[in-house]
Structure 1
Amino acid sequence: MMKIGFIGLGMMGNPMAHLLAQTGHTLAVMDLNAATAARFAAEHAGASVAGELKDFGDADIVITMLPDSNAVEAVVLGNAGKPGLLSILKKGATLIDMSSAEPMRSRKLAQTLQDKGLQYLDAPVSGGVKRAVDGTLAIMVGGDAAVLAQCEPVLKTLGKNVTHVGQHGAGHAMKALNNYVSAAGLVATVEALQVGQSFGLDPEIMVAILNSSTGKNNTTENKAKQFMLSGAYNSGFSLALMAKDLGIAMGLGESVGFDMPLGDEVLQIWRDANEALGKGADHTEMYRYFRNRKQ
């Protein structure tokens, strides 16, 4: 069995850490909110709280599930004069970054870790809170195949599909591009539903027809009725995070010299919605945003 550290017990991280706690591995957890980490440890026999990064010094694997590259780099490289995991982890330990981070920065971070005798995988996820709970996330992995082989049993506790997509940074690149396609499809679906309703179509019937026709997509199948038409708006993934991931995708396009005109338009729509709806809005509230725009 392994000694695993897990940093970031948010809406996705908490159920993921819960699954790891069921496997018998020694698990230490950390969160910006110390009470959250304490509550998790109290609810999971065998889990402990890492009060400081140095408590991960004997870990075989440390998993980060954090908001962005800035947060990841603060933990790995150190922040405000405090040492990071780079100078704390034992030789041969592996950092698995499951956050949604910037691919180019992930590549650089991987090299920095390797220079210190540490291993790195970027392994972001897709599937939302529901699939985090039942361990069926899609996990896209960048890094050395041999390192992935060592860590795959742990990752398969969290995801049904674990796919090696390339070298360091490739996982984060794939995640950003996946979310771009998903976000563009969501906007197209929302626009179609609003136009159809204005014409007099029943949105429930529209969704059913889209799901039996060529317009079927992740939004029509898993979000439209469940979170939008119902007015629940509680999918568990924030609008701000979607806008952030879109920014990463557009930045990736720019870094490789590829113009993304549709992507630029989609990003602006999400940024405008994020500004209008405010902090904490679920990404499915894009439906409400478009409805109010019509008014």
Structure 2
Amino acid sequence: MSSSDQGSNTIGFVGVGVMGRPMARRLIEAGHTLVVFDRDEQAVAELTAIGARAAKSVKDVADTARIVFTSLPTPAIFRQVALGEGGLIDGSAVKILVDLSTVGSRMEKEVADGLLVKGIDTVDAPVSGGAAGAKKGTLAIMLAGKPAVLDQVRGLFEVLGKVFVVGDQPGQGQLLKLLNNMLSSTAFAITSEAFVAGVRGGLDPEVMMSVINSGSGKNGATMDKFPKHVLPGSFDFGFPVGSVCKDIGLAVDECQALGVPMWVGSVARQVWNYAAMQDGSKRDMTELVRYVERWSSGEGLAD
């Protein structure tokens, strides 16, 4: 199916939150017709204002669109939307689910197997790049699924970012996404500790980041999150601590299931979970450095 053919069809989109909304917006602005559903009426209204149609339910989306995108916050919600009563599985029109969520390979496989019984194929398509990447259309998109099915949807990703085909089985994209997010969140945690130590030792934060980024210690945190969201004091990367906890938890569990001991990953998970437990779940992930500052002064640490 060509991109022009795809553009003539209505595309479904369930879950238009922090990540889903800017992706849906880009599809609409590229000329695609969308029918959208989310419990957040304000999020839906933002998209209907630029041409989307608001669906009454998940099933309404699945009764209208042959291709349905999902961008959902947790594995449990994803399963309910896909396989629950009144979910995508009960739709009369849907033939392809394109899942942009981060739900883990085991849940992705369970849903894909359940939908396939009803003749619905699943494209595992988690994304990386955060809300900023979703708005700019610069996401890294990890596609996994049957080659013939991928061919039918690939053109839709042109306005969302760069596509990487990582496998032919749903779940393979999820595994790679979790590994990516684990690396990212672990890098931010250790960078926060290094940053606080440097400041406490009298180093200038700007100079410190410049030197690290010219040396072997540079990583995504030092090159992007710290210069753009920590040093200016905005703490507005757009990804909450609670979501980091979900992703790194899924990643550690899946890696351990593959026989990898996960000593470093397990400790990083503990750091993020501890921050979440201290009223940090809804805070931007870049605020972890504030918790490290507090802990370095003995505040917020268990006796």
> What TM-score does the superposition give when structure 1 sets the normalisation length?
0.94
Letter in 2 for 1:3: T
Post-superposition shift, 1:24?
2.2
1:65 counterpart (51, 56, 71): 71
Question: Which stretches in structure 1 are left out of the alignment for 5+ residues?
Answer: none
Partner of 1:85: 88
Partner of 1:186: 188
Number of aligned pairs? 288
Post-superposition shift, 1:195?
1.2
Q: Superposed, which structure 2 residues align to 1:1-295 within 5 Å?
A: 1-41=8-48, 43-45=49-51, 47-56=52-61, 57-78=63-84, 82-90=85-93, 93-159=95-161, 161-166=162-167, 167-295=169-297
Distance in 1, matches of 2:18 and 2:256, equals 31
| Identity between Structure 1 and Structure 2 (%) | 38
Structure 1 segments, 4+ long, off by >3 Å, are none
SS of 2:39's partner is: coil
Distance in 1, matches of 2:144 and 2:277, equals 33
Q: Is the 8 A contact 1:102 1:173 kept in 2?
A: yes
Post-superposition shift, 1:123?
0.6
Post-superposition shift, 1:89?
4.0
Post-superposition shift, 1:74?
0.7
SS of 1:5's partner is: strand
Q: Deviations over 1:140-197 (max 9, x none)?
A: 11211221111011122211x1111112101111111101111111112111111111
Q: Deviations over 1:87-122 (max 9, x none)?
A: 21436x110110110211111211111121111011
Q: Is the 8 A contact 1:30 1:51 kept in 2?
A: yes
Letter in 1 for 2:149: V
Distance in 1, matches of 2:42 and 2:101, equals 21
Distance in 2, matches of 1:119 and 1:30, equals 20
Post-superposition shift, 1:278?
2.8
Q: Deviations over 1:42-92 (max 9, x none)?
A: x213x10001223221312111111011111111112xxx4211121436x
> What TM-score does the superposition give when structure 2 sets the normalisation length?
0.92
Post-superposition shift, 1:21?
0.5
Q: Is the 8 A contact 2:14 2:58 kept in 1?
A: no
Partner of 2:4: none
Q: Is the 8 A contact 1:277 1:289 kept in 2?
A: no
Letter in 2 for 1:59: A
